[in-house]
Structure 1
Amino acid sequence: MRVYPVLVAALVASAAYPASAQERRVDVPAGTVADSAIALARQTGSSIVVNGSSLSSRRVARIRGTMSAEAAVQRLARQANARAVRISAMAWRLDPLPARAARPRRDARVTTTERGPRPGPAPTPAAPLPEIVVTASKRELPLKEMPAQVSMIDGEELALGGVGGTEKITQRVATVSSTYLGSGRNKLFIRGIADSSFTGPTQATVGQYLGDIRLSYNAPDPDLRLSDLERVEVLEGPQGTLYGAGSLGGIIRLVPNSPELSRSFASGTLGGALTEHGDGSADLGLIANLPLASDKAALRVTLDGVTEGGYIDKPFLDRTDVNRTSILSGRAILRAQLAPDWTIDLIGLGQTTHAQDSQYVTRNQPGYDSAARVREGSDAEYLHGQIVVDGRIGAVRLRSSTAIADQTLEERYDASTEQERLFVQRNETRMIAHETRLWQPIDDRFGWVAGLSLVDNRTQLNRSLRQMTLRAATTGVLNTVTEATVYAEGSYRLHDNLIATLGARYSLVRLGGSAEDVSAALAIERAAVTAKRDQSAFLPSASLMARLAPETSLYLRYQEGFRPGGLAIEGEFVRRFDRDDAQTFEVGVRHGVPGRDPFDLALNLSYTRWNDIQADFIDVAGLPSTANIGDGRVWTISASAGVYLAPDLRLTGGASVNRSSIDEPPFNLILLMGRTSHVPNIAEFSGRLGLEYSRPIGGNLDLDARAWASYIGKSRLGIGPELGDLQGDYLDSGLTLRIGNDRIGGTLSITNLADAKGNRFALGTPFAVVRAQETPLRPRTIRIGVDFAF
């Protein structure tokens, strides 16, 4: 037998690492077995020999975490479908396993109940490659068995080049888009399901979650810092059965890293940036993990601060670079192990965002000048507390989560006419949410999940007009929602390669509210409008998943979603708008695992029927209002793919094509809104290309490089003639380089490489739509940073 050695690490390193059981931080990039063995041996001070050139050329996924040298080698062996044979205390040999052992038959598994004499030492049994598990399925479905379009972004990828917010998701997933009023003020959309440009009483079409609990019910995206996350999961299309109201377009789920009970560590980042045509920026991030109570508990703390320099000028105020934004964010997770299979987590999260001024400019001007005559801007605060109990009862898993969230947003808009006027809108939201669920992952035949949830949400929207020293309150509104839900979903393996899934959710919703700051003459009319009322919703789902080949699957899916109604302001009146709902049929195909296989592809075609669409328009007083504008149909084709051009170089891409139409709105709204034919804020085409390069460069250093470019097509701002402006049609790009190891590294990042101005969003203030506004991209920005761990 010929031994093909790809590495003989210096054996003197064993003096620094006297035992293979000693844990250390490991971060080995994805690549061939040969390259991974080299990097792993260097990081652990071990010696690894790969037996056979065919094994050395196999591709394996990234290996990262804190583990012993032995555990790291065993993980490499499992990914490579190989057997790790110990040669000495810190030396191993990887032998390829027979091809027939790579996929053991399902009916040939050995159970723990078998008895009898055990033979002598046997070779390490074959192990399939580790599954990519989608926890947003609420029952840990393997990605290859998930009947939906899913995007998963690794937390370390999001943090590369400095911690950011939601924009890092929109840059990586072509089907996710956003408005661009400013951090803490935006609305997110997925797959062509978009309703409006403003922060109003409607519930978002995208559900945002921290673990199992939503971040908010009908408030804007808080733009949380994506720091110290295990991953972000994006599920496209309605998710009504598992997630209920407010998931018409899909969900975005943040999965934070959990505290580690047996290891202390700390890490951090520090960076500074310069923006062309603008001011400088700085950012700082810290992460610490501290075991407590004899390794039965641990505390993990994350702190982020950033100040982003402005680049917008206001000549009427003789001020430059007015739109500086400062963000301070923190998160703490305390985990205690109650029993071997039971833990309890206490989670606290807070973020404050202060934008000194607005970020829009006058369209078709050469520079970055705004015609506003007052200081605008916003202040946003977000607080979230959560308690999570997780455990196991035999083969059944249980998870119970309870949370309270408070979100406040104050926005200021230029409402000047002949005189300077400032319009101030304050949105205060308080949400209490609970979910308890039981589940059992799918095995040979059957898997299921069942749960209940309760949500109580209160949102108060107040408005005022300020002119010089005068201040006048305008009509405001209070919306209350109480939602109780039960849901269940089950999957049955009809055949080894065919899985059928059925599910349903039943929700009872009580709506209430009142008008605020209304003149006495309207008090009688408002009583009838704001009376409490009840709604119910039944949301079924069904899917069929077929494995066409070992790495290729096809699925069919039907799903529904809804949003409850509420109260909206129109002039001095408060009136109701009704619930809307969506039904989606989709078909998709998936091949390979991103980042692991030589080629991967996910393709999806969906059709959505959207009834009684809730959307915003400009009322007779020039203020945003909300109404049901009619029924719509949305066709979407989305795709994502990746291919290894070389062992260390991967090309990725994604695209989304949307076609939508809206029926004529009710007659009483035609005079206000006019006729519209397309869903707003969604480009007909969006696409992205990226390059990922990772390899050791010697001297105990690794090089990681990421380059990307994305195109956002044309879309319209909103509903009605006042909001009919075009936006989009621009190219954005970026580059990030990191050189370092698992202890320290330096990064260079450049965003907006071409220094394109673009038009991300055609709105800054709804009171001046005749000014032809636009929100440009941040000009070319160069950031230099350092990250460290100890």
Structure 2
Amino acid sequence: MISRFIGARRIPISATPGALFVLVSSALLVTAPTAAAQEGAQEDQQDQQETERDDDSFAEEITVTSTKRDELLTEVPISVTVVDGESLERQRAEDLDDLVAVVPGLSVTSASPGTTRITLRGINTGGVASTVGVYVDDVPYGSSTGLANGAVLSGDFDTFDMARVEVLRGPQGTLYGASSLGGVLKYVPNRASTEGFAGRFRVSLEDVEGGGDGFHLTGALNLAVSDQFAVRLSGFTREDAGYIDSIGNNPIPSLTDPANPIFDGTLVIDGINEVQRTGGRLSALVQPSDRFSLHLVGQLQGIESDSPSTVDASPTTFRPLLDEPVQSRYHAQFSNTDYEVLSATLNWQLGDVSLESISSYSTLEQDSQTDTAIATALTGGPPLSALLTFLFGDPATNPLSAIFPNLVTTDKITQEVRLLSVDSDSFEWLLGAYYTDEESEIAQQLLTVAAGTDDPVAAIPPLAVVSLESTYEEVAVFGNASWHVTPRFELSFGARVSDNEQVASQISDGALVGGLTMFDEVRSSETPVTFSISPRYELGGASSIYGRVATGFRPGGPNVLPPGAPPDTPSTYDSDRLTSYEVGYKAISSRGRVSFDAAVYLLDWEDIQLLAVVNNFGINANGGTAESRGAEFTIGLRPVNGLTLSLNGAYTNAELTQDTDPVVGGMDGDPLSWVPELSFGLYGDYAWPISDEWIAHVGGMVAYVGDRPANFDDRTPGGQVVEFDAYTTVGVNGGVDFGRWSVELYAKNLTDEMGITSVGGTGFLPNGAISLGQIRPRTVGLSLGTRF
């Protein structure tokens, strides 16, 4: 079975158990009383924000760029959630795991920070190519293909100093291209401003239930050098305390004496799953006139995880083995992920036409290691450490074990050029061209080490070495237009034609992969076409109804076939395609104190990309169909000045409509993995003056996540897919802003729920245990901030 994890180069061994994917999903508030209450630094800016707090406007002022031009959120004929910067900070939504608590219909699976799968509207069957596009401003991030683990290496960017996060639900193939079947998640950072000098800093201390103490330190500075040039610098460092303990003995004695359990509850490492995050962003604005601007941005981020956040559990009861969260590990299981994004955005007004150019260079590197001391899944029998000790060592004097280092890199260049018409009451258009060139590599090794260490034994050659190199090149042209047929009725439509070429080659060596094998370069090319049509009708006042039919795709690609593959094994796999049918309604009261939006949809997914196994080697293949039917809503209330209430939710009924390949294990009618049928969120925030300079605020949230189906191969004795119980989390916050200073007390998961979010690890843990992911325990924090 080694080749299923080594030869199946797109499923790194760390995924079994080190990257067991945690899912959380809920729906929560997306707006706050002020869009940037924490951002203002100068006194006049602070006064303006306090005026906005008393203003009657609510959601009509929210501007988004989801259609690649500035538009009011209420006029966009797409289901969009906007989480502004203040809401992100008040709710401590700092990464992807936290965002699921504020975005309806969003799910993520991630037991190891930096290794994250994003799902929107239930579009998930596993696989290795992403179904949700991740953008930083207008820059796409991450691999476009399934040859570099694009599905689980989504950009998990820290949300500090973000102006907002936009989440577009449904396929976005026309404007955003490949790998946006379920939608797009778009980070929009604060940009450099010529308005003046401003800055802010904040320090937070946290305590995690059953774990240690953590801290966060953030800061941002904006410097207007002149009215034509400005720079902005922001940075952060976070240490999230671990709360899972490592227990165990050296596994070797139990291998020679089956009566001796592999672990006996002895504490080895306390809080093994500690995480450190560090990053920064430097942006510059050059604006010599009101018709020309150039934004330059450089962003770096590092995520260091000491161990995955999973606990050992029974494979029959699906319950943790001990009352306290523990995992038995014999070697380090770190994961270090680094992001880099460099971009240049030019905007030039040429009379009635605007020229926009977005150039970018981005890199992703993940260096990880998995403990393979047990790894019966690789040997088909005894633990790997026992086999190595029997062949090359001695249980008493020279016990041996194994580790699995894994390195994934992606370098990506993109260039997009757009021409936009000016805003018009009759007809608006956009034309664009896009180019990307990606180079990726996955390098894996299975090494023999001295038991209890991570030191390779030089005298024993690597058991397996695999290197998969791939390239992806795409050229696309696209267009979108809005025709205002009458003052109340408009029709938006667009199309995109993409042409991509891919090349892949692989070299493998070692006893467990059949010795040295060099796979010739395999090539693929295709020309997918996507479209969208969106009629919208204003019902009167500030309400409208819209419809949308749209398509999306994930690129196909080449398969590096193993030796002896059957003649009919495809050397390429095709793109899969999703068609969405959606109807939505948006409304705001005349004074903006009540807002409502809702959407119902049907998604038809064909030729789903799945992982198949040929001679124990994993390859991509097409097979099966699925449907997702659902509804989403958001209600926003502002009954009095300073009080904001929001209720939103999502119903998702996503299931297979055909059997998958038997290796995948999915059957017609099975629910799609880790998608809750029902989720909702309730949020409230109230701010009031307690003196001329002091303003107090209190807030809270309740998030409900319904029953979630596990993976297709996790079944009950009756053959049904295992479901995990629903759970509800509670968060609270309260604080005081006094002049330039602020203090806040907050808690996340106040009731200390233990929601199960993932399952896996079969054949890699002692005593036949499996791994369960769970939500983070109760976390209580205190923060102190200043602005100037």
TM-score range, shorter chain: 0.7 to 0.9
2:42–2:198 Cα contact (<8 Å) kept: no
1:688–1:711 Cα contact (<8 Å) kept: yes
Q: 5 Å matches for 1:573-652?
A: 576-592=572-588, 597-616=592-611, 626-652=620-646
Q: Would you say 1:480 and 2:474 are equivalent positions?
A: no
Q: Deviations over 1:200-226 (max 9, x none)?
A: xx3311111111111223431231111
CA separation of 1:424 and 1:615: change in aligned 2, threshold 3 A: farther
Q: Would you say 1:762 and 2:759 are equivalent positions?
A: yes
1:475–1:569 Cα contact (<8 Å) kept: no
Structure 2 distance, partners of 1:630, 1:739, is 55
Shift of 1:784: 0.5
Shift of 1:474: 4.3
Counterpart AA for 2:770: A
Q: Would you say 1:214 and 2:206 are equivalent positions?
A: no
* SS of match in other structure, 1:158: helix
Counterpart AA for 2:424: D
CA separation of 1:766 and 1:188: change in aligned 2, threshold 3 A: farther
Structure 1 distance, partners of 2:443, 2:412, is 18
Structure 2 distance, partners of 1:255, 1:348, is 14
Counterpart AA for 2:579: Q
Structure 1 distance, partners of 2:739, 2:179, is 40
Q: Would you say 1:773 and 2:764 are equivalent positions?
A: no
CA separation of 1:570 and 1:617: change in aligned 2, threshold 3 A: same
Structure 1 distance, partners of 2:423, 2:702, is 39
Q: 5 Å matches for 1:245-264?
A: 245-264=178-197
In structure 2, runs of 5+ residues without a counterpart are 1-30, 145-149, 250-267, 314-318, 377-382, 386-400, 450-456
1:717–1:763 Cα contact (<8 Å) kept: no
2:430–2:480 Cα contact (<8 Å) kept: yes
Q: Deviations over 1:124-151 (max 9, x none)?
A: xxxx996432212112222222111111
Q: Would you say 1:715 and 2:711 are equivalent positions?
A: no
2:695–2:736 Cα contact (<8 Å) kept: yes
Question: Which residue matches 1:428?
Answer: 409
Counterpart AA for 1:446: F
Structure 1 distance, partners of 2:504, 2:444, is 16
Structure 1 distance, partners of 2:158, 2:418, is 28
Question: Which residue matches 2:340?
Answer: 383
CA separation of 1:155 and 1:73: change in aligned 2, threshold 3 A: closer
- Name whichever of 167-176 and 233-242 sits farther off: 167-176
Counterpart AA for 1:670: P
Q: Would you say 1:696 and 2:689 are equivalent positions?
A: yes
Question: Which residue matches 2:529?
Answer: 538
Question: Which residue matches 2:27?
Answer: none
> Which of these residues, 79, 94, 99, is aligned with residue 169 of structure 1?
99
* SS of match in other structure, 1:390: strand
User: Looking at both structures, which has the greater relative contact order when contacts are Cα pairs under 8 Å and sequence separation is at least 6?
Assistant: 2
Structure 1 distance, partners of 2:189, 2:301, is 16
> Which of these residues, 302, 307, 316, is aligned with residue 248 of structure 2?
316
* SS of match in other structure, 2:86: helix
CA separation of 1:571 and 1:600: change in aligned 2, threshold 3 A: farther
Structure 2 distance, partners of 1:70, 1:174, is 32
> Which of these residues, 224, 232, 235, is aligned with residue 168 of structure 2?
235
Q: Deviations over 1:658-688 (max 9, x none)?
A: 112224346xx32563636232221111211
Structure 2 distance, partners of 1:733, 1:688, is 10
Structure 1 distance, partners of 2:360, 2:628, is 34
Shift of 1:616: 4.5
Structure 2 distance, partners of 1:759, 1:74, is 41
Structure 2 distance, partners of 1:760, 1:258, is 36
Question: Which residue matches 1:298?
Answer: 230
1:181–1:763 Cα contact (<8 Å) kept: no
Q: Would you say 1:447 and 2:438 are equivalent positions?
A: no
Q: 5 Å matches for 1:20-59?
A: none
> Which of these residues, 49, 52, 63, is aligned with residue 133 of structure 1?
63
In structure 1, runs of 5+ residues without a counterpart are 1-28, 37-59, 83-127
Higher-Rg structure is 1
Counterpart AA for 1:592: I
Structure 2 distance, partners of 1:340, 1:751, is 44
Structure 2 distance, partners of 1:326, 1:75, is 35
Question: Which residue matches 1:97?
Answer: none
CA separation of 1:763 and 1:700: change in aligned 2, threshold 3 A: farther
TM-score when normalising by structure 1? 0.80
Question: Which residue matches 2:501?
Answer: 510
Structure 1 distance, partners of 2:755, 2:53, is 47
Q: Would you say 1:410 and 2:367 are equivalent positions?
A: yes
Counterpart AA for 1:410: D
Structure 2 distance, partners of 1:431, 1:377, is 25
Q: Would you say 1:752 and 2:749 are equivalent positions?
A: yes
CA separation of 1:144 and 1:721: change in aligned 2, threshold 3 A: closer
Counterpart AA for 1:311: Y
CA separation of 1:467 and 1:514: change in aligned 2, threshold 3 A: same
- Name whichever of 342-351 and 390-399 sits farther off: 390-399
CA separation of 1:753 and 1:73: change in aligned 2, threshold 3 A: closer
Q: Would you say 1:500 and 2:491 are equivalent positions?
A: yes
1:620–1:672 Cα contact (<8 Å) kept: no
Question: Which residue matches 1:57?
Answer: none
Structure 2 distance, partners of 1:315, 1:68, is 54
Q: Deviations over 1:594-651 (max 9, x none)?
A: 9x72222111111111111123578885x87643341111112111112235443332
Shift of 1:188: 0.7
Counterpart AA for 2:599: N
Q: Deviations over 1:578-606 (max 9, x none)?
A: 21111101001111289x72222111111
CA separation of 1:654 and 1:569: change in aligned 2, threshold 3 A: farther
Shift of 1:782: 0.8
Structure 2 distance, partners of 1:653, 1:489, is 33
Counterpart AA for 2:134: Q
Shift of 1:377: 2.5
Shift of 1:786: 0.7
Shift of 1:334: 1.3
Question: Which residue matches 2:129?
Answer: 203
1:442–1:491 Cα contact (<8 Å) kept: no
1:358–1:764 Cα contact (<8 Å) kept: no
Counterpart AA for 1:264: F
CA separation of 1:465 and 1:727: change in aligned 2, threshold 3 A: farther
Q: Would you say 1:654 and 2:648 are equivalent positions?
A: yes
Q: 5 Å matches for 1:5-404?
A: 65=40, 131-160=61-90, 164-196=94-126, 202-218=128-144, 219=150, 220-292=153-225, 294-316=226-248, 318-363=268-313, 364-365=319-320, 366-404=323-361
Q: Would you say 1:464 and 2:445 are equivalent positions?
A: yes
Q: Deviations over 1:311-346 (max 9, x none)?
A: 111111611210111111111001111333211121
Counterpart AA for 1:341: R
- Name whichever of 468-477 and 770-779 sits farther off: 468-477
Shift of 1:531: 2.3
Shift of 1:236: 0.5
Structure 2 distance, partners of 1:619, 1:414, is 26
CA separation of 1:774 and 1:698: change in aligned 2, threshold 3 A: same
- Name whichever of 731-740 and 499-508 sits farther off: 731-740
How many aligned residue pairs are there?
A: 679
2:759–2:772 Cα contact (<8 Å) kept: yes
- Name whichever of 671-680 and 388-397 sits farther off: 671-680
2:32–2:84 Cα contact (<8 Å) kept: no
Question: Which residue matches 2:680?
Answer: 687
> Which of these residues, 664, 673, 685, is aligned with residue 665 of structure 2?
673
Q: 5 Å matches for 1:551-570?
A: 551-567=542-558
Structure 2 distance, partners of 1:77, 1:164, is 25
Q: Deviations over 1:692-736 (max 9, x none)?
A: 212212251112222112122223343445896544622222112
Shift of 1:79: 9.4
